[in-house]
Amino acid sequence: MEEVSKTPIFRAFSETSVKELRSINHPGISDTSRSTFSYASKKPFWPEVLWKGGTLVYSMKQPEKCLVPPVLKNDKTIRFNSRFESGNLMYAYRLNPDAYHCILEYDHTPSGGCQWFYFQMSNLRKDRKVTFYISGFNKNSGVFSSGSKVFMYSEKAAQLHNLSWFRAGTNYAYGTTLKNKHNKRSTLQFQLQFQYDDDVCYLCYALPYTYTDLTKHILDWSQFAPSLIKKEILCKTLGGRDCPILTITSPFSSTFPSTNTTKKCIFLTARIHPGESNGSIVLHGLIDYLLSGQPIAQTLLEKYIFKIVPMINIDGVIEGFYRTGLEGDDLNRVWSLPDPEKHPVVFATKNLMFSLHQEIGIVAYIDFHGHSRQHGTFAYGCPSDSNKEKYLPKMIAYLCDAFSWAKCVFSVPQQRKDASRCVVAKELGVVNSFTIESSFGGILSGPRTNTLYNDTIWKEIGARIGESLFHLFSESSPLLKLIECNTAIFPKEYLLNNEENSSNQMNDGYKNNSKSFSQNLKKNNKKIYNNNQNNNYTVNITNNNNKTISIRPKTARMKASSPTKIAKKNTAQTKISSQASRMNTKMKVTKGSRMTRSQSHR
């Protein structure tokens, strides 16, 4: 056995990176079929050789220790690679012919945060079942322990069926497998059955959205709507890369924005945590909506200027980090006093926001994130005496059944006071200052209960956020009037109890020892939501161009279920279907009749 330590160690930042030399393109159409929650074992079995045995087959830092491409046909050992943009896999060990231990690279901090993974596999065999153990996670629980699945991409599936990323895997388990005095690491276990011989596949924590991807998308947007969007360079990152900033408004002119003071600004940011790629996808959906030419989007652009920094932590995205950048800091904890040398993008973004607020005023700020422990999509806001910070999340929940009002939290915990939304609310006085969190997992309530998120749903959420912004700032909007009436009857003590509302976000939704804002309002909301469902009407709104815009409330909400109950139900239904199939196959056929196996399933 190769004598290499299985525990990644902290390494200082190097200005050269092998990962920016190659970017992977994944052509194909995203899988839109419904993927349901898996059942994750609560008492997994971990092999004794997990951390003490196996043969080294891949080392990211030492290419000479990697296996060479296969020459013999009977060589069935999987080859691994993560030496590309956003890749994260430090080591891969072969435990047995059908089991591999994959160890992730930690963020460049002494504590070594880690959740994100993204790597390539080759030399695969059709119908072969392989068990994977992915280790290095710094959180002892997450969406994988409550029903989520990994994303997979198959080059053969893309070539034959034009299929892009899809959810995959069975027999999931998640738990702590490495316990040192100052270091606890968790492992994800699952099985894959490959569909093609000689295929090349990729596994990822979420859908990859790299710096190269962003650059291509900006080019596409600029070609699609050149009169609506403008790209500029905000600053250089710590790693010396250009950080783009987008301006979207209508009509665009050479004098904008310095001489245009009639429009207010809506400011958007994303990817301050590099491993939260779904935040980029939600923002992508919002940008697509703004440029779509739809009447509501056109009205928004006529009234407002959108300033967008789509990728704050570019260096971390390229390196495949989860939460930090090259400097080793969480960039969402330095907004009160960013260092211009260590945190140049945050420093430049904050300065621009202050300048814009003085010139034209910022009426809303949204920072897009991904959530690794809670399911659903929800908002974190800052409480105010007016309660108007509740309006936008309520509107999104009304228009989008993939968004959960019940999980929204409005507080400023001490440990979050330096986060962007808290600083913007406090220092600029922006009431509508939010973090939008979208889970890496799935949806637990509403008509799409038991559905894991995919590219289409994430982009849909972004579009509905755009639509909600229109209603938020339209005084004549019937939806705004409805939300105002609903908010007016909320108990005041629940709305402003900042400390009680903090526990949900302080613990990432994992533990909540006090009643959250949403729990306290459950009884009050029940009557409101029931009334909304009974009034399943269409609201007609006329915009500036005298075009009628029709909106409908989202379909009736369902009671939320736990991921465990959903996954067990999925497993039970699978077993019932399997038993029914066997019974149908063994059916007694009367004399003179013939029934094939396929006919018995019709």
What CA–CA distance (Å, rounded) separates 404 from 489?
20
484 among known catalytic residues: no
**Distance between CA atoms of 579 and 573, rounded to whole angstroms?**
10
Helices (H), 447-521: 455-472, 478-488, 492-495, 503-506, 517-520
Rounded to an integer, what distance in angstroms lies between the CA atom of residue 377 and that of residue 305? 26
What is the C-alpha to C-alpha distance for residues 599 and 526, in angstroms, rounded to an integer?
Answer: 47
**CA-CA distance, 510 to 563, in Å (whole number)?**
13
- Whose tokens are 């190097």? That residue is 14
Which is nearest to 108 in space by CA: 327, 284, 420, 377? 327
Residue 597's contacts (CB-CB under 8 Å, 6 or more residues apart) are 585
327: closest CA among 336, 340, 311? 340
The three-point CA angle 560-562-565 to 5° equals 120
Q: How far apart are CA 224 and CA 227, in angstroms?
A: 9
159 and 26 in contact (C-beta within 8 Å)? Answer: no
Q: Which of 359, 353, 351 is nearest to 263 (CA)?
A: 359
Per the residue annotation, which of 437, 460, 467, 484 is the catalytic one? 437
Both structure tokens of 447: 């008509």
Contact between 525 and 430 under an 8 Å Cβ cutoff? The reply is no
Strand intervals (E) in 79-144: 79-81, 91-96, 99-103, 118-122, 129-137
Dihedral angle sign, alpha carbons of residues 437, 443, 444, 447:
positive
| Residue matched to tokens 């962003």 | 214
Q: Mark out the alpha helices in 99-162 (DSSP H runs).
A: 155-161
Active site residues: 437
